[in-house]
Amino acid sequence: MTSDMLIDARNIGVNLSNRWIFRHVDLAIERGKVVCVIGGNGAGKTTCVRTLLGLVNHSEGTIKRADPLSVGFVPQKLSITPILPVTIRRLAALAGKFKSGEIDEALSAVGLDELGNPSVSTLSGGEFQRLMLARAILRSPDLLVLDEPAQGVDVSGVEVLNKLILGVRDETNCGVLMISHDIELVFDIFDDVLVLIPHEFEKLRHSDTA
Amino acid sequence: MLDDFFIRALIAGIGLAIVTGPVGCFIVWRRLAYFGETIAHSSLLGVAVAILCDVNLVLGIFFTATVVVFIVFLLERREGLPTDTILGLLAHGGLALGLVLLSFFPSVRIDLHALLFGDILAVSRQDLLVIWVGGAIALGVLCWLWTPLLLTTISSDLSRVESRKPLLSKVLFGILVAAVIAVAVKIVGVLLIVALLVIPAATARRFASVPETMAIGAALVGVVSVAGGLFASLQFDTPSGPSIVVAALVCFVLTRLPLGLFGKGNTGA
């Protein structure tokens, strides 16, 4: 692996309960590059990214990760129970040991500094995504991973979000891995794209490999 | 001063409430009320084990409860059964097994009523030492676990990606709950201990905007409930354990009344 290589996956696949969620995936993520994973519902996008992060064990293939590899993860959605009170600053601060000024900076980088410190439960979908992005930026990660950041965000919101992501990439030279169900949402920003096709379709294409 | 059984009960109850408040917050945040109930029920098996092995009651309960915690984690990972099914199996299985085992020792006189409902008025000086020293250790462990456990509660994935070892914090918290319940059984009993974990936390939610203030609030509500319950039990000659729980319930209901007196009602719904 070269020093810029963050994750190098060769021919990986995940089999859960005798069903291939996805197979034959090759993916390399380097510093400074934006890699998108595109695919329809059920194509295994989220499982693929979770596998690359080590949250799911792969059934075949090899994955090499830079060591150490610090990851800033922006999950698609978090369901925080209403009985757990948490404000945006408190959630951001859970990313690690940071000074109050650093948290201010990260929140203003995503444009949340003017909200004050409201409860997380009051945020809109786009605001929540930006909060999670601020939290990820705070960790100054080698790799920024976003699962469908455009979900529940309107068109102008997507542009803002994409600009933010590119800004972070330019500033820190981190690698970016993001999932989208729609190639148009990420068309302007990716360097590489992995298109995941649901396995049923793939079987039709290579009936000999199934 | 410690010669007075009532003062001892008060000091014991307050010591316990200071710990069950913050621990109880994680119980409600992580939806572990039935898990707590399971640990509490299985402590009857712990009593049987303590008698069988001739060890201290608290140690016997703690040991058994810890084993139950590990069985819960193993079954969850291996068997693919829903958590509440596993807990139902262990809670009532443990309780029944404990009662059956105890029946083999007719010579041993067990005050079942005290085990089920607690006997805070029978607290000794040694119990006080166990509660306050054990409580200080439990709070220390909880502080150390605080950030990883909180992040794990919000998102297990985030916690793993950020190398916070979610499984380790979950197991350690399980053992912590086992320890707290082992100490608390003598005070409020098997059937009422979970009330002391859940009710103060639920009451404190209304006044808190961050997890830490809710934890402190839950401890305070617990202390008020213990004091109120004990004085009421003295006044009206009611059983002490249930009186404490009723006092906690009264606190909860009072803070839910629409009187406009209690903050701005940040219920976060």
Q: What pLDDT score was predicted for residue B45?
A: 94
Which among A53, A78, A90 is the nearest to B155, CB-wise? A78
Q: Which of A2-11, B14-23, B256-265 comes out lowest in average pLDDT?
A: B256-265
In chain B, which residues have their Cβ closer than 8 Å to the Cβ of A119?
A: 209, 266, 268
Is residue B171 scored above 50 in pLDDT?
yes
Residue B269, pLDDT > 70, answer no
**Mean pLDDT computed over every residue of chain A:** 85
Closest by Cα among B34, B27, B32 to B218? B27
Minimal Cα distance from A88: which residue of B? B210
Q: pLDDT at residue A206 above 60? A: no
Cα–Cα distance for residue pair B120/B7, rounded to 1 Å: 11
Name residue A22's beta-bridge partners.
A14
Q: How far apart are CA B25 and CA B225, in angstroms?
A: 16
Contact B162 A80 (CB under 8 A): no
Interface confidence (ipTM) of the complex: 0.85
Residue A144 has pLDDT above 60, yes or no: yes
pLDDT at A98 over 90: no
The 3-state DSSP class for residue A37 equals strand
> Which among B153, B158, B145 is positioned nearest to A85, based on CA atoms?
B153
- Per-residue pLDDT band for B36 (boundaries 50, 70, 90) equals very high
- Mean pLDDT (whole number) for A103-107: 90
B16 Rama class: left (phi>0) / alpha (psi -120 to 50) / beta: alpha
**CA–CA separation, B235 vs B229, rounded Å?**
10
User: pLDDT at residue B35 above 90?
Assistant: yes
Residue B44 has pLDDT above 80, yes or no: yes
Q: Once rounded to an integer, what is the mean pLDDT over residues B171-180?
A: 96
Q: Residue A49, SS3?
A: helix
Give A208's pLDDT tier (boundaries 50, 70, 90).
Answer: very low
DSSP string, B27-43: HHHTT-HHHHHHHHHHH
Are the beta carbons of A193 and A36 closer than 8 angstroms?
Answer: yes
Cα–Cα distance measured from residue A80 to residue A86, given in angstroms and rounded to the nearest whole number: 9
The answer to whether residue A20 scores a pLDDT higher than 70 is: yes
Average pLDDT value for residue range A8-17: 90
Q: Residues 153 to 172 of A: which have CB under 8 A from any B CB?
A: none
Quote the tokens at residue A210. 């199934």
Architecture of the domain defined by B5-190: Orthogonal Bundle (1.10)
Interface of B with A in 172-211 (CB under 8 A): 201-202, 205, 208-211
Chain A residue numbers touching B158 (CB-CB < 8 A):
73, 75, 78
Instruction: Tell me what pLDDT residue B2 has.
Output: 63
φ, ψ for residue A10, nearest 5 deg: -120, 120
* Among B220, B193, B223, B192, residue whose Cα is nearest residue B206: B220
What value does the mean pLDDT take over residues B215-230? 97
Q: Which residues of A touch B29 (CB under 8 A)?
A: 81, 83-84
pLDDT tens across A160-180, in order? 888 889 998 998 999 999 998
For residue B209, list chain A residues with Cβ-Cβ distance below 8 A: 85, 87, 119
Band (pLDDT 50/70/90 cuts) for residue A155 is confident
Residue B265 has pLDDT above 60, yes or no: no
Assigned token pair, A54: 């080590």
Degrees (nearest 5) of the Cα angle B21, B23, B26?
Answer: 110
Rounded to a whole number, what is the distance in Å from the CA of A78 to chain B's nearest CA? 7
User: Cis peptide before A68, with omega less than 30 degrees from 0?
Assistant: yes
Q: Is B260 helix (H, G, I), strand (E, B) or coil?
A: coil
Mean pLDDT over B219-233 rounds to 96
pLDDT for residue A44: 86
Output the six-digit token pair for A95.
Answer: 């990313």
pLDDT band at residue B260 using 50, 70 and 90 as cut-offs: low
C-beta of residue B148 within 8 angstroms of C-beta of residue B165: yes
Output the average pLDDT for chain B.
Answer: 91
Q: Strand A60-65 to strand A5-16: parallel, antiparallel, or no bridges (unpaired)? A: antiparallel
Token pair of B77, please? 């990972």
Nearest to A88 by CA among A109, A114, A110, A119: A119
pLDDT above 80 (res A72): yes
